[in-house]
Structure 1
Amino acid sequence: MDTEPVKSVRVLAPSGMLGAGWDHATIERGIALGADVISIDAGSTDSGPAYLGSATAKTTARAVARDLRSLLTAAAGAGIPLIVGSCGTSGTDRGVDWVAGIAAEVMAEEGLDLKVARIYSEQDAAVLKEYLDAGRIHPLPPLGQLRAETLESCTHIVGAMGHEPIVEALRAGAQVVLAGRATDTAVAAAYPLMLGMPAGPTWHAAKIVECGGQCTSDPRAGGVLATIDAGGFTVEPLDPAVACTPISVAAHMLYETADPFEMREPAGTLDVRDARYTAVDDRIVRVEGSRFHTAGQYTVKLEGARMTGYETVSFSAIRDPRILGGIDAWAELMRGMITQRVRQTLELADDEYAFDLRLYGHNAVLGELEPEAGPPREVGVMLLVNAPDQATATAVAKVANPLMLHLPAPGMPYLPSFAFPFSPAETERGPAYEFVLNHVVDCAAPAELFRIELGEKTHA
């Protein structure tokens, strides 16, 4: 028997990241307002390559369990699906299984019996080399053509899935979808698209709600509810004391996008040039006029990280006005002295290690773009050493220790003393990583790079 087409879909977005925490009352309010699906991102590249490189999470298990308990009980009680994307921060297979394990514990404690799908997005370098040889991998700026050796050097590679693998899992009966690396918007767009909502409003709404309450007057107060229909969408905060305004909603298109009017997804491009943002009342905003242009070629973005060595860090603080008055000259002297003493004491060549000297309080963040002139009042000096092994990195930092404590500025007639905040002064950071992939793969089918598993089995 034919069913009537769905007229609207309500997406509850509780926060910008699983593990960030929220007031459960805001989730209850979203359910009361008629939420049809709960979607939340669990990952990011914002905190650098270490989480992908090491396949570890930036969030704690306790925080993730707390948030999952809030969402799983709410979704089960309302009979609606829960979708989590980029599990374990970077979306590795290990990250998906980590979140799945926590979810299983929570469901057992709460007496919930929900069908869980895990979507794995980690990629095999050997398989990707076949795509590379076939001319199906292309660089995104500013990187150049990909080399096979780069793929082989990665400790972990993930592909950022679009909505299609999530839809496939939902159609297979999943009540909870735990996805590997996914575009932030795909997580929120999947269910509305599956139910036939138009692509333009759906992708735009997904972009606006990807970070929960960030599109509201108080991002700390909780998430939002987006209602998508044939002509557009509305956005409403889940905290009654918070508001969405046309400016706060429109401004989120500027967040993490290279172009304020367009945003690329695997299947095509969101275009908001003609979007109109209208206040429905003092809390709710209506958006119309969004379009989505389907691409001729479906592409999946790759992210990969590799080890660069091992790091040891040391930190001291300077408030001596004579040194601060010529801090750049002092830093140049420090660099030269460290290089000289490492050659003398450790007999290391310059290419056997590397170090960086960062002056916090003096151009460490903006560098030459710093608009403020004049000497700083105090400076934190961070020495970051990188070497092929931890022992060498620490040895270099130890050689630099006396200089970090007492190095006088050029022409200074006395020996100054600085302040180490820690003892010992050297802290071993362990393996260091760098991002090396910013490329896309031409795919014949949207889900060809991803694996979906239903039930209790976990990825080997």
Structure 2
Amino acid sequence: MTDNAVRVLVPTGMLGGGFPPETVTRGLQLGADVIAVDGGSTDSGPYYLGAGVAKTARAAVARDMRLLLRAAASAGIPLIIGSCGTSGTDSGVDWVAAITREILADEGLTLRVATIYSSQKASDLAALPIRPLPPAGPLDPAVLDGCENIVGMMGHEPIVAALRSGADVVLAGRATDTALAAAYPLMRGMPAGPTWHAAKIVECGGQCTTNPRAGGVLATIDAGGFTIEPLDPAAACTPSSVAAHMLYETVNPFTMREPAGTIEVGDAVYTALDDRRVRVTGSRFDPAGQHTIKLEGARLTGYQTMSFTAIRDPHILGRIDTWAALLRTMITEWVSNTLRLGPDDYSFDIRLYGHDAILEKLDPSAAPPREVGVMLLVQAPDQETATAVAKVANPLMLHLPTPDMDHLPSLAFATSPAETERGPAYEFVLNHVVEVDSPVGLFRIHLEESR
């Protein structure tokens, strides 16, 4: 920290997403005091939490971590990674920690690593005050017991505790994206308003710039506000690109709740310092009366098998909704007659890619599509049943005509075999917060011994 300011380097929006190495070098040259990067997300659905596995490739995470560990060691600054292993489960933290230890040994680096675990036991949570967030209702204890994995979303406090304990590298479980960038400046006494607002703007790296693919950003936080600068000299931050990030993943573009309080940016002013940097002032942070930790949980809902066929026949495409309705009816009848299964024994979904798979009836089109990909997604309590249903549907997805056709068309499966077993499927079932007396009480911090 220099000049009564703290400089936070965020190299990318997600660990394993990659970044140009020279942008991190530039961040160090600009005086970065800490490197912070998110390691996870719920964007890709509940599978990664339910299964406790990462969506990123190990090689991609190792590539990014090697560059960041070298940078942190050379500059003598902390490295903070949050939501390790995508969902922030204990297994995700251990996965990133194992990669980190391998790199440290390979590079001959002596950095102290702290791991912060955020997985929660249903039995421990059952005795705590838990309240729903809209639109969820009161929590049924059976929902907690049915979760494969539950994590608590930490704020900055456990990260600060790890840093104060002497950690050079902090590998945290599930955390708010903003907490990762806010922790070190708050520890160094920077004001909460500018710190939290800056953390929100830089959470996705270069997404607040005119070229999100070019690399990350550097946030300089001081007593009066903060300044955002892209790490690629060819990229730029503008008042619009910076302010726009408050629209990202927020219910209200002027406020955002953290475990400890609420970011308030309704009075913020965004000023271009030059053609690349933006200065922001007027941000506030209102402390909450009650500290809360958001819970995320995923439970197993069954097993899935998928088939995918393609239609180019103009006659069918001109009647695609009629054809799809017939397909649904025929699958139900054939499964009932051959497998003796009823509607409570399985479910299936048909999605017409190229027609209405994304918005369905919200965006109707009068013109027939040129081609359509038909995805059949079957779910059942076990994999064998899901695959059996998909196999029964196979002839229909290959040769089903419209009611007015006097011949069997030939459609095109995308793969052979046509059925792809997707394995276990999960769903998010918690949209609740637990009220806590201590912001670190639900989390377990382990600091490795010095080498």
Instruction: Place the TM-score, normalised by the shorter chain, in its bin.
Output: over 0.9
The match for 1:315 is 308
> 2: CA distance between counterparts of 1:13 and 1:343?
55
Please state how far the C-alpha of 1:386 moved relative to its aligned partner: 0.3
Structure 2 residue runs of 5 or longer lacking an equivalent are none
Cα distance in 1 for partners of 2:183, 2:202 equals: 13
| Candidates 113, 124, 141, aligned match of 1:116 | 113
1:275-286 alignment runs, 5 A limit = 275-286=268-279
Name the CA distance, whole Å, in 2 between partners of 1:330 and 1:142: 36
Q: Is contact 1:6-1:195 (8 Å) kept? A: no
**Alpha-carbon shift at residue 322 of structure 1 (Å):** 1.5
Find the aligned partners of 2:441 and 2:366 in 1 and give their Cα distance: 55
Q: Tell me, yes or no, if structure 1 residue 374 matches structure 2 residue 371.
A: no
Aligned to 1:81: 78
TM-score, structure 1 normalization: 0.97
Deviations 1:47-96 (A, max 9, x none): 00000000000111111111011100100110000000000000000000
1:354: which partner in 2? 347
Question: Structure 2: how far apart are the matches of 1:244 and 1:350?
Answer: 54
Runs of 4+ in 1 over 3 A off after TM superposition: none
Are 2:25 and 1:28 equivalent residues in the alignment? yes
Letter of the 1:395 counterpart: A
**Cα deviation 1:260-306 (Å, max 9, x = unaligned):** 10000000000000000000011000000000010100000000001
1:201 aligned counterpart, secondary structure:
helix
Give unmatched runs, 5+ long, in structure 1. none
- Counterparts of 2:262 and 2:157 in 1: how far apart (Å)? 15
Structure 2 match to 1:147: 140
> Within 5 Å, which residues of 2 pair with 1:63-102?
63-102=60-99
Match of residue 48 from structure 1: 45
Alignment of 1:95-244 (within 5 A): 95-131=92-128, 136-244=129-237
Give yes or no for contact 2:112–2:449 (8 Å, CA) kept in 1.
no
**Of 379, 404, 408, the match for 1:415:** 408
Please say if residues 225 and 280 of structure 2, whose CA atoms lie closer than 8 Å, have aligned partners that are also in contact.
yes
Residue 245 of structure 2 corresponds to residue 249 of structure 1? no
Distance 1:377 1:5 in 2: 61
State the alpha-carbon separation in 2 of the partners of residues 130 and 327 from structure 1: 53
Counterpart of 1:403 in structure 2 is 396
Paired residues, what number? 450
Contact 2:194/2:283, CA 8 A, preserved across alignment = yes
Amino acid corresponding to residue 207 of structure 1 in structure 2: K
3-state DSSP of counterpart to 1:53: helix
- Deviation (angstroms), 1:373: 2.5
Q: CA RMSD in A?
A: 1.2
Residue by residue over 1:374-415, the C-alpha shift from the partner in whole angstroms, topping out at 9 and shown as x without a partner, is: 211111110000001100000000000000000111121111
- What's the TM-score, normalizing by structure 2? 0.98
Letter in 1 for 2:349: D
> Is 1:10 paired with 2:7?
yes
Amino acid at match of 1:382: M
Matched, 1:263 2:260: no
Amino acid of the residue matched to residue 47 of structure 1? S
Partners of 1:77 and 1:381 in 2: CA distance: 53
2:74 maps to amino acid:
G
**Equivalents in 1 of 2:356, 2:264: separation in Å?**
38
3-state secondary structure, aligned to 1:103: helix
Task: Give SS of 1:343's match.
Answer: helix
Distance 2:150 2:99 in 1: 23
Contact kept? 2:356, 2:364, Cα under 8 Å: no
Question: Match of 1:57?
Answer: 54
Task: Give 3-state SS (helix, strand or coil) of 1:351's partner.
Answer: coil
Aligned residue in 2 for 1:392: 385
Query: Counterpart in 2 of 1:424?
Result: 417
How much has 1:372 moved relative to structure 2? 3.4
SS in 1 for 2:440: coil
Q: Give the aligned residue type for 2:23.
A: T
* Contact 1:317 1:379 (C-alpha < 8 Å) held by counterparts: yes
Residue 335 of structure 1 corresponds to: 328
CA–CA distance in 2 between the matches of 1:372 and 1:297?
49
Determine helix, strand or coil for the equivalent of 2:424: strand
Q: Quote the Cα distance in structure 1 between the aligned partners of 2:176 and 2:424.
A: 27
> Are the counterparts in 2 of residues 6 and 196 from structure 1 also a CA contact under 8 Å?
no
Kept in 2, the 8 Å contact 1:245–1:279? The answer is yes
Residues 177, 203 of structure 2: 8 Å contact kept = yes
Letter in 2 for 1:250: A
Partners of 2:94 and 2:306 in 1: how far apart? 32
Which letter maps to 1:167? V
Alignment partners' CA distance in 1, 2:32 and 2:109 = 20
Q: Which residue of 2 aligns with 1:38?
A: 35
Q: Decide whether aligned partners of structure 1 residues 157 and 6 sit closer, same or farther in structure 2, where only a CA change above 3 A counts.
A: farther
> What CA distance in whole angstroms lies between the structure 2 residues aligned with 1:137 and 1:89?
24
- Distance in 2, Cα, partners of 1:146 & 1:373: 44
Report the counterpart of residue 289 of structure 1 in structure 2: 282
User: Is 2:321 the partner of 1:324?
Assistant: no
